[in-house]
Structure 1
Amino acid sequence: MNRRTLLKNLALAAPAAWLPGVVAGLNWSPLAPAPERMAAGPFQPTWESLQQYQTPEWFRDAKFGLWAHWGPQCQPEHGDWYARGMYQEGSDQYNFHVKKYGHPSKFGFKDVINEWKAEEWNPDELLALYKKAGAKYFVALANHHDNFDLYNSKHQPWNSTRLGPKKDLIGGWAKATKKQGLRFGVSVHAAHAWSWFEPSQRADKAGPLAGVPYDGRLTAATGPGTWWQGYDPQALYAQNHPLSENSQDNGAIHRQWDWGNGAAKPSAEYCEKFFNRTAELINKYEPDLIYYDDTALPLWPVNDVGLRLAAHFYNTSMKRHGGRNEAVINGKILTEQQRQCMVWDIERGQSNQIEPLPWQTCTCLGQWHYDRRIYDRHGYKSAQTVVHTLIDVVSKNGNLLLSVPVRGNGSIDEQERAVVEGIATWMQANGESIYGTRPWKIFGEGPAQANAAKLSAQGFNEGKGKAFGAQDIRFATKGDVLYATALGWPADGQLLITSLAAGNALRPQPVRRVELLGHAGGALAFEAMAEGLRIALPAQAPAAGLAYAFKITG
């Protein structure tokens, strides 16, 4: 069959825009999308140039963001990294997948995408709830390691406007977010699909289908007669390459996240495709924040794509905002130099000190991708845990980005909704102790800080230290006001703040007034003593509960 006939036949089955992906093996197409151009401006794609970055005030003031870490891996409702785990023979997710959908040689992740319809997704309702909860920015998943774009991409045929929900999810999230007056962010994780999807190249080692390959090596040539006819599975799985070293070891990828220790190096074509997809995302949806799930920046240090995207994002933001860079990039496991170039993100963990530069912790009520088992066992974080985390992080110059897992159908369940409502109640009464504040001279006092757990890799120290109690107090300032927030209600009716002892060097000026946010009874009685500032508490704790913010002026 000649080239012209092949193109004509494929056009009958494929959307015209995706012919380049379908016929990639021909090395020719009149319809290939034009590459995205990097915006000109003061930022250049070098670490040295990116060091001129300054964190925008909107982010420093916002303190609290909510996140929808939602994509096709939520459809099975069986936890995080599903599209990888389903190809790991004998794993929990593999066994679940075989029982629910069938063997991954016959029903692969591409077929899970086809099942996903997001039929109950209502971004306007969710964003109204999230604004009520006190979020000042909202982040939506733009793609995960599964390589499926959740927006209208001309560079990635496997996207949510063509397949699955057949909706522009990022477009919908962006519109709803901006309607509520919140800052909009996207999270981008797809740089790692190259190695993350390697288990899809495997086959069972035992059982009736031993040796039958999973679908990760399929190509467009096997598509005729299937639902995915006209789409190349390699544009999704990206597995036309040799395996990484120790690829059969399912844990090896964690040692190869920075593309070292034997990770298969991505091709130049793969890297440029990632650049084009992400630059298009920036250009089309104009986010204020990009969260990268990478060591430093995507594909660093094997390629400069991440540096180019950072410079492009910053320069684009300056053009949009009259010369001000309002953009925020979150990156993980950063060197001291890199922390000057973007905002350091700690995953599921907290710093144990006041950080000199603004930072962020990201965590989740449950698993990153929706897991029905957590709902069944009532295993979500409580509103109190979230509020305590927020207060602790803010005292150390940080922000909290909290993911509320979204079901495959696009809704959140009633247990999650109750947690969000609990956060809302507290924030409405105590928000002034959070928003627009800056760290004090020390972040806090109390027994918990002496037992704080150290960070591990990109974070992962949450919940490993001593639980917070009434003696644990966290500080923040706003102008001449000092907020001291107790992470429990003292049983004896008095709160002693040792850091505010009479004559102390931290705050030598005398205290003139103490108020309890959420308490309608006026100022509280207090006494400055050698052992600390002793505050007489009202008979009843404020109705919002969870934590108790004292406004101290003087």
Structure 2
Amino acid sequence: MQTIAEITQVANQGPFAPNWSSLGRFSMPEWFVKAKFGIFVHWGLYSIPAYNNEWYSRNMYLKGHPEFDHHVATYGPQKEFGYKDFIPMFTATAFDAQEWMKVFKKAGAQYVFPVAEHHDGFQMYQSSLSTWNAAERGPKKDILAELKQAAEDQSLHFCTSSHRAEHWFFMGHGKEFPSDVVEPLQKGDFYWPAMPEPDNQDLYSEPYPTEEFLDDWLLRTCELVDKYQPELLYFDWWIQHEAFKQHLQLFAAYYYNRGVEWGKQVAICYKHDALMFGTGIVEIERGKFAEPQPFYWQTDTAIARNSWCYTTTLDYKSSSEIIRDLIEAVSKNGNMLLNVGPDGQGKIHDKDQEILADIGAWLTMNGAAIYESKPWRIAGEGPTTITAGQFQENKVTQYTSQDFRFTIQGDSLYAMQMISPMDGHACIQSLSLSSDQNLPAFHGIIQNVALVGHPQQNLDWQATHDGLSINFAPIETDKPIVFKITMK
């Protein structure tokens, strides 16, 4: 285990140093820009009660919250059955890391992101800093190590995430009434520090995290990267709090310097401007940008609309909705990280597998428009507008057959028609001809147009002043169809 002094030494050894100016020399990993599609995995103790969402550990101690009442009715008072008492139930009898990765590979994913430690503080890996981990309790397996090995066996890039920062206050409501969250709490205790919950929108909120907690956060995070060498590390919210700034810079320099030692292109994924812009990968949670961005970014979303972990009441998205969200991200210079939640014993349920297989089948056919592609000079056309920002998934976006999104690769422009037209006609207005070279219109020469995945189709196409007109035999599908437009 590293000490703070040793971490500081590595952070300052170069080529990076723990300040934003030095960290600004960060370069986006080339493999990440090519990969486009990854799988997030939320699996932990919260998957055992499988109620509402992954915040069960906080909400079961919050009077008036549905989880509080559900917990008392199902398991008894929190003083007699607390969150820690789920650990013996977490035996992971159905967990098979190799099978998980085969499912993700079949889905077309290029990288995987299992959660190493969520807000609840239970580590899914072997740790020298706490005995409250999956290797010593519950499954008694180093879950993260098994997932890393399985990912590498399937040639998937291995990444992981830490949500430890929120643990500063996550169990704090348990002190407000008789429960198993009792003083004195000391570093190393499962529920420690269980502080009163601050205003999480206030970047200077009290109670201010202590140096002891921040050092523990840094030690845990550095242990995580040293033991498992993830190619990306994802941080959830609240590390944007002022208290973390110095420790964040120290960690970023440590991790990036380690990456140089390993010969790996690594990066930190962050939200809410927790890092200085240009020192990592910008994340948009459950949302996207309305327009193409000059910087590379990622949206993290879930296969279900109402939870990141497995519950018995998941509101699943359709595979076609997820594919369109992937297209939106890629056409606007981004990636999509899609979350899956196995159940308490580690089974990926049939509905999840069905959706993932459906996505994989579409990508097998149309992957040239996604993997290693680049944005065109415009992202798309059509009447459907996208609302920018986070948490914009309450309603399904209603596309039309006039909506297209574009990417390029090699000598081809890929035009993805978001709704397959019943009349077998497409008109791409962005490819309309113009006799005026000064107008911002298309002036390239189209050599050929093909409908990807349907080589038997002989398309009737013509470049006109109204657009590229294409006629074809209608395709009965609820998913986008893709035209490959080859240029001279």
Q: TM-score range by the shorter chain?
A: over 0.9
| Distance change (3 Å), C-alpha of 1:58 and 1:33 | closer
Shift of 1:114: 2.9
Separation in 2 of the partners of 1:134 and 1:302? Answer: 36
Paired position in structure 2 for 1:368: 308
The one of 221, 227, 234 equivalent to 1:284 is 227
Shift of 1:116: 1.2
Partner Cα distance (2:337, 2:474) in 1:
34
- CA distance in 1: counterparts of 2:354 and 2:188, whole angstroms: 42
Paired position in structure 2 for 1:318? 260
Q: CA deviation at 1:350?
A: 0.6
Structure 1 residue 393 corresponds to structure 2 residue 393: no
Residue aligning to 2:454? 519
The corresponding residue for 1:153 is 127
List alignment gaps of at least 5 residues for structure 1: 1-31, 204-212, 221-231, 246-251
The answer for the alignment partner of 2:407 in structure 1 is: 476
Q: Within the alignment, does 1:493 sit opposite 2:424 as a pair? A: yes
* Equivalent in the alignment of 1:207: none
Residues 14-44 of structure 1 show CA distances to partners (whole Å, capped at 9, x for unaligned) of: xxxxxxxxxxxxxxxxxx9855634232111
* Letter of the 1:424 counterpart: G
Relative to structure 1, is the Cα distance of residues 33 and 471 closer, same or farther in structure 2, using a 3 angstrom cutoff? closer
The size of the alignment, in residue pairs, is 476
| TM-aligned CA deviation for residue 77 of structure 1 | 0.8
Amino acid at match of 1:71: G
Kindly provide the amino acid, as one letter, of the partner of residue 54 in structure 2: D
Contact 1:33 1:155 in 2 (8 A): no
**How many angstroms apart in 1 are the aligned matches of 2:222 and 2:473?**
55
Asked whether 1:308 is paired with 2:250, we answer yes
Q: Does the CA-based 8 Å contact 1:524-1:537 persist in structure 2? A: yes
C-alpha separation between the residues in 2 aligned to 1:173 and 1:403? 15
CA RMSD of aligned residues (A): 2.0
| Cα distance in structure 1, aligned partners of 2:293 and 2:97 | 34
Alignment match, 1:531: 466
Contact 1:152–1:161 under 8 Å retained in 2: yes
How many angstroms apart in 2 are the aligned matches of 1:244 and 1:416?
34
Deviation of 1:76 (Å): 0.7
Distance 2:400 2:87 in 1: 45
Distance in 1 (CA, whole Å) between partners of 2:23 and 2:483 is 39
What is the distance in 1 between the residues matched to 2:98 and 2:242? 36
Counterpart secondary structure, 1:339: coil
Counterpart residue number, 1:237: 191
SS of the residue corresponding to residue 442 of structure 2 reads coil
Secondary structure at 1:87 match in 2: coil
Q: Equivalent residue of 1:294, what SS?
A: coil
Worse-superposed segment, 162-171 or 107-116: 107-116
Match of 1:356 among 269, 294, 300: 294
Residues 298, 306 of structure 1: 8 Å contact kept: no
Check the 8 A contact 1:292/1:330 in 2, yes or no: yes
- Scaled by the length of structure 1, what TM-score is found? 0.82
Aligned pair 1:75/2:10, yes or no? Answer: no
Secondary structure of 1:178's aligned partner: helix
Q: Distance in 1 between matches of 2:194 and 2:454?
A: 63
Aligned partner letter, 1:158:
W
Structure 1 residues 444-483: aligned runs within 5 Å:
444-449=380-385, 452-455=386-389, 459-464=390-395, 466-483=397-414
Whether the aligned pair in 2 keeps the contact of 1:497 and 1:533 (CA below 8 Å) is yes
- 1:327 matched to which residue of 2? 266
Uncovered stretches (5+) of structure 2, i.e. residues with no partner: none
Check whether the contact 2:285–2:301 (CA below 8 A) recurs between aligned residues: yes
User: Which one-letter code corresponds to 2:149 in the other structure?
Assistant: K
- In structure 2, do the counterparts of structure 1 residues 506 and 434 end up closer, same or farther at CA, with 3 Å as the change threshold? farther
TM-score in terms of structure 2 length: 0.93
Q: Secondary structure at the match of 1:443?
A: strand
Identity of aligned residues (%): 33
Give 1:480 shift. Answer: 2.5
Q: CA deviation at 1:300?
A: 4.4
